[in-house]
Amino acid sequence: MKVVIDPNSGFCFGVVYAIQAAENELNKSKTLYCLGDIVHNNMEVERLKEKGLKIISHEEFENLTDAVVLIRAHGEPPETYKTAIKNNIKLIDASCPVVLRLQNKIRLGYDEALRKNAQIVIYGKDGHAEVNGLVGQTNSDAIIINSTEDIKKIDFNKSIILFSQTTQSKDGFDEIVALLEEKIKDKGLNLFIEANDTICRQVSNREPQISKFAASHDVIIFVSGKKSSNGIFLFDVCLKINKRTYFISSVEELDPSWFLNCQSVGVCGATSTPMWLMEEVAKKISLI
C-alpha cells in the first residue's frame, strides 16, 4: 500500500512565521504568553506548551502586567495594543502580513464609509479571531455575514463596501457579491457596492490543489484540529471528491478497516496542520 503526503498541505507562511517567533522567544526566556491558541491544532499547541508557551484569554490579558505576549497570525483589534501599553506588556506581533494589509484596507474603507454614508460588510465567520481584529478597525460597526441568509442584516438603503476574511471560500464570496449586486439593482436607487476580494490566494488555491490530490488516491486521511474552520472546509472539499475521506486529529484515531482493498492512501491537512503530524500519520498507516 502506497502512502503519499500532499506537498501543498500544511502551515501557510503566516502560521510558520508565528510559530518561529514563538520558538525564538521561548529559546531565550522559557516563558511566553499567547493570546488564544497560536494555531488551531491541539497537537502543535501541546508541543509548544511543553516548551513554555502559555495560552491566555483576552480577559486574562487585561489583568496581565510586565510580561511578553505573542499576537498570533490572526491579528488583533486596536484595543489589544492599547491594553499592552497600559499594562507594560511587550508584544511580539506575529500577525500575518496579509491580515495586517486587510486591517489597513478596512480602516481606510471605514473612513470612506463614514464620508459617503455607506456601510462596511465583512464576509467571514462571526467570532473568529481574525474577524474580531477586522471588526475592531471599524469601532465594531461592521456587519458580519457568513452566508446568503445573513444578507438580511444589511441595510439596502445604504451603499456597501465589502471585504472578506482571508480564509473564506472564493466561490462563496462571488456568490455574495452577485446577490448583493442583484439586490441593489432591484432597489433602483443610486447606491454602489465596492467589492474587495481580500481572500488569501495561498489559502484559496488549496481548494483546487487538494481536489486533485483527493481524486488521485483510494483513501484520503485528512489531518486537522477540530476547531480549524479552514480544516473543516478543506475536508468537505476532499469528501465531495472522494467518499473514502476520513477526518482525524491524531494517529490514535486511525481505523485499520478504512484501508481494506486500498492500494493508495493520501495524507493531507489544513493550513494549521503541522507537517510533522502528517508524517507521523503516514508512518503509522504504512505499518497497518
Closest CA to 85 of 69, 74, 73, 96: 69
d(CA 111, CA 118): 10
Bridge partners, 2 (sequence order): 264
What is the residue type of 102? L
Residues 6+ apart with CB under 8 A from 239: 245
What are the grid coordinates assigned to 111, written together?
A: 473612513
Category of 199 on φ-ψ map: left (φ > 0), alpha (ψ -120 to 50) or beta:
beta
d(CA 273, CA 280): 12
Catalytic site positions: 130
Cell 488564544 found at: 36
